Amino acid sequence: MSTTTIPSSLLSPSLSSFKLSFPSTKLQPLSPQFRCNRIGFSFSSPTFSPWKRFAVNDNNKESDNGDVLTGLDEVEKEARGNSTMPERFRYLAKEVPSLPVRWPWLVVLAFMVYAWRAVLFELSNWKNGAFAIVRFLGYLLKYAFAVVYQFIGSPITFSIRCIEDLFYTVRASYSWIIHNAPVPDLTIIIMLASIVLAIGEATVPNSINDQHNVLTVSGLIGYAAVRGYISELFFWTILLGVYAFSKFVKKRDDVSAAMPVAAVLAGVGEPWVRALVIISYTALAIYQYSKTSTGGKEVGEVETRQMRLPIPLLLASFAIGLRVAAKWVGYRHLTWMSR
């Protein structure tokens, strides 16, 4: 559509903002109609759209106000359309945000309170059901344990009692060592037993390392005899069995076979037994050494291994150390209290 604009100088100042057009005819290809525009005011009612506020339809695409839309985004262009409002009044056409409506939240809150009450009721039911299932499983486990305990209960009880007895035995032994350990007697036992072991090691090298377990058993037998756990007859019988085991089973010589028995008797025997045992064992060692030397056998150097201390002597020395340390600590405590 072509329009003719009258210069503003020919119009009065009050009419300069209106547009005048000459009559023109134009055939519309889709809906042919004849439109007549007269010079003067246009009585066609402007069309308004709810999505395009403060916008007036204008078919003039080459208007002078077309450059004001430069820089606006597509959403604003679509909302404003081809508006002819000057740029300085554009800020007045912005929508004022409406205040948020908060009263519907009261309805939602009331519904949530009621719903949460129902949820709590359902949760309590589920909780009771879960506890009932757990109790039932507990009863099943107890029944299964009772069935299993019917067959293996006695061995388990016996093992627990053995562990308990061992614990209380160690505790009682430690308490006895701290309060009543005979330091002079233990010192004499270590010295006499060491003499016998030294004689045997000098005669037959590596005899202590070769009989480490036998020496440990002999020491335990001597401790049981001193504490009164076994009778004297049984004590002599066991010592005879130890000698026979070393002599006939392990095929050892007389000095090596008699060394564990002689060490025990020299340690825990009566004074006359100790003297007799040491003298007899020394004579046996001299006899065997002289017999080996006069038999034409050359005694060569034997490679000695690192000697392991017999466990009974190690425990005796440990007991002496505990007793001495306990006495020293008690003396220091009493001295500190008296200051």
271-294 and 183-203 are packed helices; what angle lies between their axes, rounded to 10 degrees?
10
Please determine, for residue 116, whether its predicted confidence score (pLDDT) is greater than 90. Answer: no
Band (118; pLDDT cuts 50, 70, 90): confident
Q: Which of 147, 180, 213 is the last residue of a domain?
A: 180
d(CA 260, CA 243): 8
Taking only the tens place, the pLDDT of each residue in 195-214 is 999 999 888 888 888 888 99
DSSP element (H, E) containing 18: none
Shared domain for 317 and 253, answered yes or no, is: yes
Shared domain for 129 and 198, answered yes or no, is: no
SS3 content of the chain, % helix, strand, coil (to 5): 70, 0, 30
Please determine, for residue 216, whether its predicted confidence score (pLDDT) is greater than 70. Answer: yes
Mean confidence (pLDDT) of the chain: 75
Shared domain for 159 and 234, answered yes or no, is: no
Which residues are within 8 A (CB) of 32 and not within 5 positions of it... i.e. 6 or more apart? none
Shared domain for 191 and 274, answered yes or no, is: yes
Band (21; pLDDT cuts 50, 70, 90): very low
| 23 falls within a domain | no
| 127 falls within a domain | yes
d(CA 318, CA 312): 10
Please determine, for residue 108, whether its predicted confidence score (pLDDT) is greater than 80. Answer: yes
Shared domain for 226 and 246, answered yes or no, is: yes
Average pLDDT over residues 140-164: 89
Shared domain for 319 and 226, answered yes or no, is: yes
Number of domains, the chain:
2
Domain ranges, residue 289: 182-296+307-338
Quote the pLDDT of residue 197: 92
Shared domain for 197 and 325, answered yes or no, is: yes
The token pair that represents 115 in the structure block = 């719903």
64 against 312, higher pLDDT: 312
Taking only the tens place, the pLDDT of each residue in 32-51 is 444 444 444 444 444 444 44
Shared domain for 156 and 208, answered yes or no, is: no
Please determine, for residue 269, whether its predicted confidence score (pLDDT) is greater than 50. Answer: yes
Average pLDDT over residues 241-248: 91
242 against 77, higher pLDDT: 242
Band (133; pLDDT cuts 50, 70, 90): very high
End-to-end CA distance of the chain: 123
Q: Which of 145, 180, 215 is the last residue of a domain?
A: 180
d(CA 313, CA 319): 10
Quote the pLDDT of residue 193: 92
Look at the chain and count its residues.
339
Provide DSSP, 199-256. Answer: HHHHHSTTHHHHTHHHHHHHHHHHHHHHHTSS-HHHHHHHHHHHHHIIIIIS---HHH
207 against 337, higher pLDDT: 207
Quote the pLDDT of residue 113: 80
Average pLDDT over residues 164-189: 90
